[in-house]
Structure 1
């Protein structure tokens, strides 16, 4: 029996989320989900966040973050890439919670929901697709599985119209819901703030930075190539790389080969992003592929000028405005030209005004309203018809 009758606004939903990709950090999708859960609570819907936690890893950073935000949550142990008991444990949690709708985030949550639905679970399923990484091969396989199994969900939510094209096989069940521009999260230790303050006072201006996961699809290697050319052209600047990930050692070696050790600092993961953005004169997003990067919204929120590749939802966020300088993805030469123009021209008034205008379209209120409408439409579907089979995702 459902906790809500079809057509009613859901009183309870659940969200399944994977372990943190980098232990000790709270991911952008979890920050977005937490803000959404609080907004839904104000609208009359309780959300239970079910966090998978890999056995042997440090305690999840998600749990204290959700606790502090006042969002109901529970931890379910995940024993590895193939853990058949995980679905059983999650199924027990969901039977007790009795949600009308279950949202999934990430391939493991998708696989669990798919299996439970095949076993007759009564709730409706909304699968969220946040994008993918291009390395290693195992990760690409998991994302392929994710896209394939999401074809069985009643709705698939993506971050951009570009991503929606990968789900053409879902026949009208795909919805684009943009991330919200959230307030920059507090965090960081006094020692980290002191370290950043020391850097801000000692590095030559202007300071150019990239912020995000250090993996192939983020294009940080292209940013380093562009920095090398800008140095050869005699442009004065300092560069920061904030973030961590599987590509860090390779990128640091690439930086050394280019002779950029005196210009580029690798900061690792930065918790106090508010201080970080205040240090930057220009943010560069050199990604080869994206969903809707939270870094883009954070930089606009912090009023930092931006150079970004035209991938994923980035052009949709910027629109036809001058909120960011967009360049062709995969081209270090295009980054060189855009960075040089941005630093020599400064932050033009019309560019700053365009950033402020764009922010109004990405409020948390709009994101909550979009989810409320999604839930309403899904529960109103006559008979709650489920997809008959899993389609093959477009490549």
Structure 2
């Protein structure tokens, strides 16, 4: 059976959840026998990270999300198939296009920056590939300007019918899109998966076995939707009941300066540590007793939450979108509804974190259950298998009408 030729298209500047989902997925699809290529609309951290993995990458010049100059080279890559992606990563033409051995079976977009130009060009492609899109987040929360967010939502919804299938990385995100008028028959859920979920059934962070301060932590991009302000409120409440407790915040972003100043104003500087961005967060898990997520909304299942669970940490989280589909309340951690007054929410989170800090046996039991849940339900291999099946079903349906 010939391999499927699959082109994934994404904006080159993506370095958050989309990148942590996509690159492991491409690697896993490649192991499954797919001929996968990555097309980045612009150079950036994602293209560089893909090259370090040895993935075939082409980067097209694109300045801003609405740069029309990308359409011509993009159409050349889409029309010519795998043969146009040259070894040096440039998008060739002419002879390269003429020698293309195959067409793209599937073109799979990620994010608004890729969705729009590909959907505009797809109707002119002959033969037409199956067109997929993955939605990683709520577009309404991706932009600081509410007007810009509404405009991009309208454009994305209006062009959604050009896609054959739209993959949502959580059930809650699928329900949100359906409520906003996206075509329900095109929506499907495939959860993100963790690339490395090798912890054993008794997996637990090494730090629980050493004498040190009880520590709660999070790994997140420091943006408004992560609501790190709430985590600081929780830290303040924890200090009253657990004076030796510390909070570690791993990540960077536009909110960092304001959050550091807020922590100082709250008198929390001795107890709260901002580490900045860390490419390898492995050592962090050994420092923590409890992982906490305080997001307003998570489009997906949160790769950081999965990673924490795989490393044997119990998770205390707000019921924010996809995270509540991963953390089982009372079994792998605690899930707290945001539908309450903010002070009550901070208190509830602090009380649950405190109960775990007070009970090493409970931490160990919940941590082991979380690691087991990730291994059984949220690995990148499972994500790749489900994605490949979706491709095959789409292609089979397409062949019926050819």
**TM class, shorter-length:** 0.7 to 0.9
* Match status 1:228 vs 2:241: no
Rate the CA distance shift 1:9–1:153 in 2: closer, same or farther, 3 A.
farther
The gaps in structure 1 that reach 5 residues or longer are: 1-7, 55-59, 185-199, 386-395
* 2:79 counterpart (92, 95, 105): 95
Deviation at 1:107, TM superposition (A): 0.8
Q: Could you tell me how far apart the structure 1 residues matched to 2:142 and 2:49 are?
A: 28
Q: Could you tell me how far apart the structure 2 residues matched to 1:9 and 1:177 are?
A: 25
Deviation at 1:294, TM superposition (A): 0.4
**Aligned counterpart, 2:370:** 355
Deviation at 1:118, TM superposition (A): 4.4
**Aligned counterpart, 2:113:** 108
**Aligned counterpart, 1:255:** 263
Is the Cα–Cα contact under 8 Å of residues 191 and 301 in structure 2 kept in the other structure? yes
Q: Runs ≥4 in structure 1, deviation > 6 angstroms?
A: none
Rate the CA distance shift 1:12–1:140 in 2: closer, same or farther, 3 A.
same
What pairs with 1:21-100 in structure 2 (closer than 5 Å)? 21=14, 26-53=15-42, 60-97=44-81, 98-100=103-105
TM-superposition CA deviations, 1:126-151 (whole Å, max 9, x none): 11100133551166346524354334
* 1:316 counterpart (325, 329, 347): 325
Q: Could you tell me how far apart the structure 1 residues matched to 2:236 and 2:328 are?
A: 30
Query: What root-mean-square deviation, in Å, do the aligned CA atoms of Structure 1 and Structure 2 show?
Result: 2.7
The gaps in structure 2 that reach 5 residues or longer are: 82-102, 198-207
Indicate the structure whose relative CO is greater, using CA pairs within 8 Å and at least 6 residues apart: 1
**Aligned counterpart, 2:97:** none
* Match status 1:325 vs 2:334: yes
**Aligned counterpart, 2:200:** none
Rate the CA distance shift 1:377–1:324 in 2: closer, same or farther, 3 A.
same
Q: Could you tell me how far apart the structure 1 residues matched to 2:31 and 2:38 are?
A: 16
Q: Could you tell me how far apart the structure 2 residues matched to 1:148 and 1:63 are?
A: 29
Q: Could you tell me how far apart the structure 2 residues matched to 1:143 and 1:240 are?
A: 35
Deviation at 1:220, TM superposition (A): 0.7
**Aligned counterpart, 1:177:** 190
- TM-score, L = length of structure 2: 0.81
* 1:340 counterpart (335, 349, 354): 354
* Match status 1:152 vs 2:162: yes
Is the Cα–Cα contact under 8 Å of residues 243 and 267 in structure 1 kept in the other structure? yes
- TM-score, L = length of structure 1: 0.82
Q: Which range moves more in the overlay, 83-92 or 136-145?
A: 136-145
**Aligned counterpart, 1:19:** 12
Rate the CA distance shift 1:170–1:347 in 2: closer, same or farther, 3 A.
farther
Is the Cα–Cα contact under 8 Å of residues 12 and 59 in structure 2 kept in the other structure? no
